[in-house]
Amino acid sequence: MNDTDFIAAAPQDTRLLAQRIRCQALRMVTRAKASHIGSALSITDIMAVLYGGALRVSATTPDHPDRDRFILSKGHACVAVYAALAETGFIDRTLLDSYGTDGSMLMAHISHKVPGSEFSTGALGHGLPFGTGKALAAKRRGMGWRTVVLTSDGEWGEGSNWEAALFAAHHGLDNLLCILDYNKLQSLRSVDETLRLEPLHSKFAAFGWAVREVDGHDHDALAQAMTGAAWDPGKPMMLIAHTTKGKGVSFMENKVEWHYRNPTPQLLEAALAEIEGEGREAQVHA
């Protein structure tokens, strides 16, 4: 345990951070011939806003007891988290080169062995019950830190999530934020065609959660929704983030195939050129 006062990292330019995370994620997946790039690009803006200042975490004291806890429940999108941890100083950027290779700590589903990573997932429906336990522990001990769990949409087919949703509301865990990456595509077809979640907003409201909906690629809206000021006292907070699978790479957006495919070197170059082009535009407009 670290007894020093917690000092959160200084806020970053989240748009620039998102651009870097996108590029790193694409490079990692291409190099490792791994998959799930669509799922990683879908949450890149969320990761940038979280690690760019919304989460109270610090690379210099990654295990500080007063830090916020972040849990990636959709473990297959781990390249977005590894890239965020590298771009904010938790791990060395060169470590990303080892992703998915023999003996690397960066396995292709998020691992708790990576500095700054709280919990290993890969099987779906585990992050929210675990995060609920952390939030309950904080409540019972009067701790001020928050727990943030990022789930996918398809993962809400798991009964364990609904058990946790009941529990968190029943116990008034208003120190728990669940972000739902609502990109509306699962591994074979759309969510609507697979196991419909709608009406999602009113479902969570009926479960006793505070519910907000945002454009999951709008950094200002995300940042505003993630601050505790927007939450309801006595209720856990569900942030439904409407996202696009494969966001930022035109030929990957909304394409089911990019759940499993890995880019060829040529497609990687095309994707990087597109993202870096957009990045330059963003800087000009800023």
Partner 1 sequence: MRNAFIDELVTLAQAHDHIALIVGDLGYNVIEPFADRFPDRFVNAGVAEQNMTGLAAGMASEGYHVFTYSIANFPTFRCAEQIRNDVDHHRLPVTVVAVGGGVSYGALGYSHHAVQDYALMRSMPNMVIAAPGDPMETRACLRWLVANPGPSYLRLGKAGEPQFHDAVPDVAPGRWVSVRDGGQADVMLSTGGALGAAIGRADGRAVWSLPLWGMAAKPLQPDQIARHGSVTTLEDHLADGGFGSWLTEAVAGTPAAACIRPIALSAEICDMVAGQSTLNRVGGLTL
Quote the CA–CA distance of 142 and 58 in Å, as a whole number. Answer: 21
The pair of structure tokens assigned to 63 is: 């295990």
| By the rule CB under 8 A, 125 interacts with partner 1 | yes
Residue with tokens 């959709």: 74
Which of 140, 233, 265, 286 binds partner 1 (CB under 8 A)? It is 140
Query: Interface residues for partner 1 in 154-183 (CB under 8 A)?
Result: 159-160, 163-164, 166-167, 170
Select from 134, 96, 135, 90 the least CA-distant residue to 116: 90
| By the rule CB under 8 A, 77 interacts with partner 1 | no
Which of 57, 108, 128, 177 binds partner 1 (CB under 8 A)? It is 128
Do residues 19 and 278 make contact, with C-beta atoms less than 8 angstroms apart? yes
Number of residues counted as binding partner 1 (CB under 8 A): 29
Closer residue to partner 1 in complex, CB, 163/274: 163
Cite the DSSP H helix spans in the chain. 14-32, 37-42, 44-49, 78-87, 127-140, 159-170, 191-194, 200-206, 219-226, 265-285
Quote the CA–CA distance of 52 and 273 in Å, as a whole number. Answer: 23
Tell me the per-residue interface mask from 100 to 119 with partner 1, x by CB under 8 A, - otherwise.
------------x-----xx
Do residues 268 and 30 make contact, with C-beta atoms less than 8 angstroms apart? yes
Quote the CA–CA distance of 125 and 175 in Å, as a whole number. Answer: 20
| Beta pairing class for 147-152 and 210-215 | unpaired
Which of 52, 53, 131, 248 binds partner 1 (CB under 8 A)? It is 131
Closer residue to partner 1 in complex, CB, 126/235: 126
Q: For the CB of residue 154, give the shortest distance to partner 1 in the complex, in Å.
A: 17
Closer residue to partner 1 in complex, CB, 159/233: 159
| By the rule CB under 8 A, 134 interacts with partner 1 | yes
Query: Interface residues for partner 1 in 186-245 (CB under 8 A)?
Result: none
Residues near partner 1 (CB under 8 A): 112, 118-123, 125-126, 128-138, 140-141, 159-160, 163-164, 166-167, 170
